[in-house]
Each structure stands twice: as C-alpha cells, then as structure tokens.
Structure 1
C-alpha cells in the first residue's frame, strides 16, 4: 500500500474514531497529495518519495508555525499545530538520534575528503541526499559546521 492509499485509509479510520485532529490533518495532507498528482507533468501519479517530501515540508511548516505562536504567547495555537505535526510524523521514517547523525556525517566527511569550512558545500550535497528524511536539514547543517569548524 503506497502512502497516498495509507493516508486515505487512515482518514476513514479517523472518521470512525471521531478523531478530529487526525481527520483534519490527514485531509490537509491528502489535499497536497492530490495537488501534486494533478500538477502538470505528474501523469496522475505520486511516488512515495514525493509524498514523503510533501509530509516533511508540512511537518517543518507546522513546527515553524508553532515556534512563532509560542513567541507570541499563543500556546493554544502552538499546541494545535504540534498535535497536527505529531499525526504527520507517524508517516515519516524514524529520525536519527544526534549520535547517529554525527557518526553518519563523520563517515561522509571522510568519504568526501573534506578538511574545513570551505568544503561544507561538498559535504552538505552528499549528506542531504544520503540522510534525506532521516534528519532535518537544519540539524545536518549545524552538525556539519561543528565538525568542519
């Protein structure tokens, strides 16, 4: 079962369970999936990779919005955003721990022969591809800076 079908099935389950947060979140995700499927050149298909990228983008947006709400003393809105993020994160692969991330990046640095800050772009290019979906871009970037700095 691909990700699109899984989300569709989970929408039905959320309706039956009367889970408003999951239902609202998954309907929103499905809307983005349908937009991607019907985009010019998509041939009415959505690969799991593309679907994962959409969910990752929505999770990042939700976390950023929650951060802004907290800054504006609107914890109620932040909690609502984070509840939706939690629903979406169930569809993402397990995120790497900071230790696993550091080990993977040290391996990539050795692989690319990077020696300093000037080689950050080279390392980030490889790391972004290899660790896509397993760690946030911000976390990867910060750790690469630390290791090369």
Structure 2
C-alpha cells in the first residue's frame, strides 16, 4: 500500500476521532505528496525512496520550526509543531540509536579506508547512501567527525 493510500485512510480515521493535531499533520503530508506527484518532470507516481525523502523533509521542517519557536518563547506554536512531528515520524522508518549508528559508521570508516578528518567526504558519501532514512544527517556527521579525529 502506498503512502498516499495510508494517509487517506488515516485522515478518515482522524476525522472520525476528531483528532485535530493528527488531522493537521496528515493533511500536510497529503498536500506534500500531491505537490510532488504533480511537480514538473514528475512521472505522477512516487517511489518508496521519494516518499521517504518527502517525509524526512517534512520532519526536518517541523524540527527546525520547533527549535525556533522554543528560542522565541512561543510554547503554543512549538506544541503544534511537536504534535505534527510525532504523526510524521510514525510514517518514517525507526531511527538508529547512537550505539548502533556508531558501530555502523566504524565499519564504513574501515571499508572506505579513512584515517583522518580529510577523508570525511568519502565517509559521508558512503554513510548517507547506506544509512538513508535510518539516521539523522547531523548525527551521522558529528559521529563521523568524532571517529576520524581519534
């Protein structure tokens, strides 16, 4: 079942349950999917990888907004973003914990043959391909930098 079909079913359920926060997030996902499907150069259907990328983008937008609203002392807006983020993350694959990610990155560093911080680009290229959707890019970059400076 495609993401769009899952979202449509979840929207109906949220409407019946009168879950406003969930409905708001689901509608945002549906709008993003429709925009991506009708974008210029699009085939009209989204692959699983494109759906994943779209959800990651939406989650990142919510995280960034959440951070800004907290800095500006706007708990009302921060709460809305947090509620939407929780719903969006339900459709993303489970994120790796730091220990698992560290062991994966150690293996990638060894496979690439990186020895110094100058090799960070090679490691990041391999890591982002292999760990796409499984870990946050900022966390990957921080751990790779830490591993290469040891």
What interval of TM-score do these two structures reach, taking the shorter chain for normalisation? over 0.9
Q: Where in structure 2 are there 5+ consecutive unaligned residues?
A: none
Which residue matches 2:15?
15
Which residue matches 1:121?
121
Partner secondary structure for residue 94 of structure 2: coil
Which residue matches 1:40?
40
After TM superposition, the structure 1 stretch with the greater mean CA deviation from structure 2, 35-44 or 65-74, is 35-44
Which residue matches 2:84?
84
Residue 41 of structure 1 and its aligned partner are, at CA, apart by 2.1
Q: Deviations over 1:42-80 (max 9, x none)?
A: 121111211111111111110111111111111121111
- Tell me, in whole angstroms, the C-alpha distance in 1 between the residues paired with 2:4 and 2:47: 9
Aligned positions, number: 149
Q: Structure 2 matches for 1:51-66, cutoff 5 A?
A: 51-66=51-66
- Tell me, in whole angstroms, the C-alpha distance in 2 between the residues paired with 1:37 and 1:61: 20
Residue 9 of structure 1 and its aligned partner are, at CA, apart by 1.0
Q: Is the 8 A contact 1:4 1:51 kept in 2?
A: no
Partner secondary structure for residue 70 of structure 1: helix
- Tell me, in whole angstroms, the C-alpha distance in 2 between the residues paired with 1:63 and 1:97: 18
Runs of 4+, deviation exceeding 4 Å: none
- Tell me, in whole angstroms, the C-alpha distance in 1 between the residues paired with 2:126 and 2:19: 40
- Tell me, in whole angstroms, the C-alpha distance in 2 between the residues paired with 1:50 and 1:13: 25
Residue 12 of structure 1 and its aligned partner are, at CA, apart by 0.9
Q: What value does the CA root-mean-square deviation take over the aligned residues?
A: 0.8
Q: Deviations over 1:83-131 (max 9, x none)?
A: 1000000000000000000000000000000001000000000000110
